[in-house]
A and B are shown apart, each in its own frame.
Chain A
Amino acid sequence: MNTLVKVLKYQARDAVRSRWLIAYAIFFMLVTEGLLRFSGDPVKAQLSLVSIVLFLVPLIAVVFGTVYLYNAREFMELILAQPVNRRQTYGGLYLGLTLPLALAFVIGLGAPFAMHGTDAAGWATLSALLLTGLVLTCIFTALATLIAVKCEDRMRGLGAAIAVWLLLTVVYDGFVLLILAAFSDYPLEHATLALMMGNPIDIARVVLLLQFDGAAMMGYTGAVFLKFFAGASGVVVTVAALTLWIATPVVLGVHVFQRKDF
């Protein structure tokens, strides 16, 4: 067993016992259960869950992650004072944060559906929802880990975490809308696609809406999206973009961590 797995094991053991993490799982459980009961329709419940997942998963992953890792600073020092390699330690810290959050999300969202049951199409869309949430978790914990090792000052780090979330949730879309409005005389379908790849939450949103036949509501642009995402190249580009969104902060984080002074 190498250092990465060992660090991951103990950090995850600590994180799964965190009250905030347990509260996160319970929150998703209550919301999902509530939506299932009120709507009485698993697909409608999932559509409502799309917005909640896109809003909340990045926020919790980046803010909880940053705060958790600032609190783990002395823990990092303790580990690094042992005969371990920093690159692997970083991987262990990242995954030890990501896996408990992912677990809480999957249990919180999945358990009510598992109890109530749904049809084949419902399971398919639920899988898409879970998978998207997992990818967003991986991306935003990667950003959290990068922020926590990069910023010495925890208040600045927390500010950066919230800023990243705000930027990708609100500001980016406003910026895209501005461009679309300014160039509305031109065909912008492909430009929109390109801009979308720059924001993982936008990718997640479109991928999910297409699962729910939401493309019908998006007019010609929706048709272009549907054609793009249905094709093999669309899948490749999407997977590549999301992979880059995970890999870039991880690679940068490892780089910073290897030179970091404790």
Chain B
Amino acid sequence: MNRAMIQITNLSKRFGALNVLRSVDLTVKPGRVIAIVGPNGAGKTTLIKSVLGLTRPGAGRITLDGVAIADDDAYRARIGYMPQIARFPENLTGAELITMLIDLRGRTASLDTELIDSFGLHDSLEQPLRVLSGGTRQKVNAAMAFLFSPDLLILDEPTAGLDPLSSSVLKDKILAERGAGKTVMVTSHIMNELEELADDVGFMLEGRMEFVGTLDELKCITNQTTLERAVAAMMTRGWMGVAA
């Protein structure tokens, strides 16, 4: 499959004097899981937010199935987003928040409530979000991202703050969605986890996409046997010039 789900071309973004993204090119292929890795401040979250239209690109172009996302809002109906920080209006309940999303998307049919069931969220959803623990809020956050069976899932540090059991449940869900032909963009600092999930890796450093390729290609190129070692090797060498 050579058709691109997301095509990012020459994407740049500055925040003041800081070049957060420098001419990033990335192709996300449909039906695959791509992990975006790199040290803190490499631009991973900014890249993700650019795809969502939350951050406006300084230069460059992003297309979803060949259609430019600029000046369009409707394309986000195809995306499920799980942000890094799960802070919600504290006086609303999870159920109200979910109703809001359904309202905003104008959809009632075919909701994927599997995560609500497997996380056992039914009781928590009736309580104000302020009384829920950080982990439970993160589960609500995850359940909302998967709720509309989106074609593209964008998950920013999805397992941060989750216990091992919930983390496994979420990873199984990600793999199941991939099996169903969905595309996933995921960031994480837990390399073992990405090794389980990802087909492709995009390695970012200081706003540049230094490497894009399959997991095996990255290991091969760095002469390492695990993703963690391979990424560490990339980071220490300040790898230059290998763009797929």
Name A residues whose Cβ lies closer than 8 Å to a Cβ of B. 1, 3, 6-7, 9-11, 13-15, 17-18, 71-75, 77-86, 259-262
| Contact B55 A13, beta carbon cutoff 8 Å | no
Q: B87 — which chain A residues lie within 8 A by C-beta?
A: 71, 73-75
Q: Given B15, B53, B92, which contacts A10 in the complex, CB threshold below 8 Å?
A: B92
Please give me the residue from chain A that is nearest to B145 by CB atom.
A81
Q: How far is the CA of A18 from the CA of B128 in the complex (A)?
A: 12
| Contact A79 B104, beta carbon cutoff 8 Å | yes
How many Å from the CB of B12 to the closest CB on chain A? 13
Please give me the residue from chain B that is nearest to A6 by CB atom.
B103
| Contact A84 B73, beta carbon cutoff 8 Å | yes
| B30-38, B78-86, B183-191 - the one binding chain A | B78-86
Residue pairs across A and B with Cβ atoms less than 8 A apart, 23 shown, are A1-B103, A9-B100, A10-B89, A10-B92, A10-B100, A10-B103, A14-B91, A14-B92, A17-B128, A71-B87, A74-B83, A74-B87, A78-B88, A78-B101, A81-B83, A83-B74, A83-B75, A83-B76, A84-B73, A84-B76, A84-B104, A259-B56, A261-B56
Q: How far is the CA of A17 from the CA of B88 in the complex (A)?
A: 14
| Contact B101 A75, beta carbon cutoff 8 Å | no
- Which of A15, A260, A262 gathers most chain B CB within 10 Å? A262
Name B residues whose Cβ lies closer than 8 Å to a Cβ of A. 13, 15, 49, 52-56, 73-77, 79, 81, 83, 85-92, 96-97, 100-101, 103-105, 128, 144
Q: How far is the CA of A71 from the CA of B85 in the complex (A)?
A: 12
Please give me the residue from chain A that is nearest to B83 by CB atom.
A77
| Contact A3 B88, beta carbon cutoff 8 Å | no
Q: B56 — which chain A residues lie within 8 A by C-beta?
A: 259-261
Q: Given A11, A13, A78, A261, which contacts B83 in the complex, CB threshold below 8 Å?
A: A78
| Contact B73 A85, beta carbon cutoff 8 Å | yes
Please give me the residue from chain B that is nearest to A10 by CB atom.
B100
Q: A7 — which chain B residues lie within 8 A by C-beta?
A: 104
- Which of A1, A74, A83, A259 gathers most chain B CB within 10 Å? A83
| Contact B55 A261, beta carbon cutoff 8 Å | yes
- Which of A78, A81, A86 gathers most chain B CB within 10 Å? A81
